[in-house]
Amino acid sequence: MSANLIVTAADGVVTVKMNRPDVLNALDGEMLRALVDTLQPFDRDPECGCIVLTGSEKAFAAGADIREMNEKSYLDAYHSDFLAGWEAFARLRTPKIAAVSGYALGGGCELAMMCDIIYAGRSAIFGQPEIRLGVIPGMGGSQRLTRLIGRAKAMDMILTGRQMDAQEAEHSGLVARLFDDAALLFETQKAARIIASYGKAATLAARETVNRAEETSLTEGLLFERRAFHALFATQDQKEGMTAFLEKRPARFVGK
Ligand code: CAA
């Protein structure tokens, strides 16, 4: 396990805290490998129902590691398909919640947007400041930010490099819920435990169908949703969930 990550697991929730305080959790190749290598086995584990990704009070992550990038040539970046590896994190199928305090800039904002939900502390600051470094977002910012908050605000942020505070981020649809900083991790883990308590097949299907909405036409998306809905009738958890409702008792999902 990498020294850059602090990992804990309980009640079906794995919590990963990025831990490079000297550089405000700047994202380098080692952090990417550590995150993916740590999380892929949890992703395959049916007992793991939700992932929480967090940083420090000062920074979720202040972006891709500028020291690592500084000397790269175009061919270094092109041949290694620099930053493409981060999509392995986005592709994890288990729901991921980013709990953001402090700076989520550049790659930090993009990493938060690779998560399915962003919860933020009131100190959170989002931004895509790459233009100030002579580049543009490279981990999905131009695409995911535009889909999440719309063209007007995404273009404003990416062209000016300005920061967006937590309140604006919530109003803009980037952040699902705002909490006091001191309560952020507790509240995020509480929501994660709720997500982890449901049948995993339904959870995976719910995530896939919502994500499909960004990629497809309404007609195709509705068909995809209906087929996924139909498929869940093959699970024990559907029988349990509906029977429990009718018997007026809590459901006991078994992930089958
Ligand atoms: N990469 C490498 N090191 C970083 C870093 C980064 N992205 N962000 C901060 N650090 C380092 C600083 O160099 C500094 O190190 P030293 O103590 O050795 O000087 C340390 O972290 C603390 O940072 P500051 O002294 O700058 O702290 P601050 O409180 O004054 O400012 C900040 C905080 C506003 C976040 C400022 O650090 C900053 O602007 N960081 C860079 C943000 C940025 O431009 N991010 C985008 C990177 S490019 C990218 O992400 C491309 C992409 O799309 C993937």
Q: Catalytic residue at 220?
A: no
* pLDDT band of 91, cuts 50, 70, 90: very high
Q: For ligand 1, say whether the CB of 129 is within 6 Å of any of its atoms.
A: yes
Q: Catalytic residue at 64?
A: yes
Structure tokens at 186: 């507790």
Closest of 33, 1, 3 to residue 18, by C-alpha: 3
Going by DSSP bridges, is the β-strand pair 5-10/13-18 parallel, antiparallel, or unpaired? antiparallel
In the chain, the amino acid numbered 171 is H
The total number of residues shown for the chain amounts to 256
Rounded to an integer, what distance in angstroms lies between the CA atom of residue 236 and that of residue 60? 39
Rounded to an integer, what distance in angstroms lies between the CA atom of residue 256 and that of residue 239? 10
Q: For ligand 1, say whether the CB of 55 is within 6 Å of any of its atoms.
A: no
Give residue-wise pLDDT tens across range 196-238.
Answer: 999 999 999 999 999 999 899 999 999 999 999 999 999 999 9
pLDDT of residue 87: 96
Whether the pLDDT of residue 247 is over 80: the answer is yes
Catalytic residue among 107, 121, 140, 199: 107
Structure tokens at 51: 């992932």
Q: Catalytic residue at 138?
A: no
Give residue-wise pLDDT tens across range 41-69.
Answer: 999 999 999 999 999 999 999 999 999 99
Q: Hey, is 59 helix, strand or coil?
A: strand
pLDDT of residue 2: 79
Per-residue pLDDT averaged across 62-90, rounded? 97
Structure tokens at 71: 């000397």
Catalytic residue among 26, 61, 64, 169: 64
Whether the pLDDT of residue 37 is over 90: the answer is yes
Per-residue pLDDT averaged across 126-144, rounded? 98
Rounded to an integer, what distance in angstroms lies between the CA atom of residue 99 and that of residue 89? 16
Task: With beta carbons less than 8 A apart as the criterion, state whether 196 and 12 touch.
Answer: yes
Q: Starting at the edge strand that comes first in sequence, how are the strands of the sheet with 125-127 ordered?
A: 59-61, 103-105, 125-127, 163-165
In the chain, the amino acid numbered 108 is G
Give residue-wise pLDDT tens across range 170-191.
Answer: 999 999 999 999 999 999 999 9
Q: For ligand 1, say whether the CB of 102 is within 6 Å of any of its atoms.
A: no
Whether the pLDDT of residue 1 is over 70: the answer is no
Rounded to an integer, what distance in angstroms lies between the CA atom of residue 111 and that of residue 117? 11
Q: Hey, is 219 helix, strand or coil?
A: helix
Rounded to an integer, what distance in angstroms lies between the CA atom of residue 143 and that of residue 70? 24
* pLDDT band of 3, cuts 50, 70, 90: confident
Closest of 139, 109, 150, 151 to residue 127, by C-alpha: 109
Task: With beta carbons less than 8 A apart as the criterion, state whether 82 and 31 touch.
Answer: no
The number of helix segments (H) and strand segments (E) in the chain equals 12, 10
In the chain, the amino acid numbered 169 is A
Structure tokens at 189: 């883990």
DSSP 202: H
Q: Catalytic residue at 130?
A: yes
Task: With beta carbons less than 8 A apart as the criterion, state whether 109 and 118 touch.
Answer: no
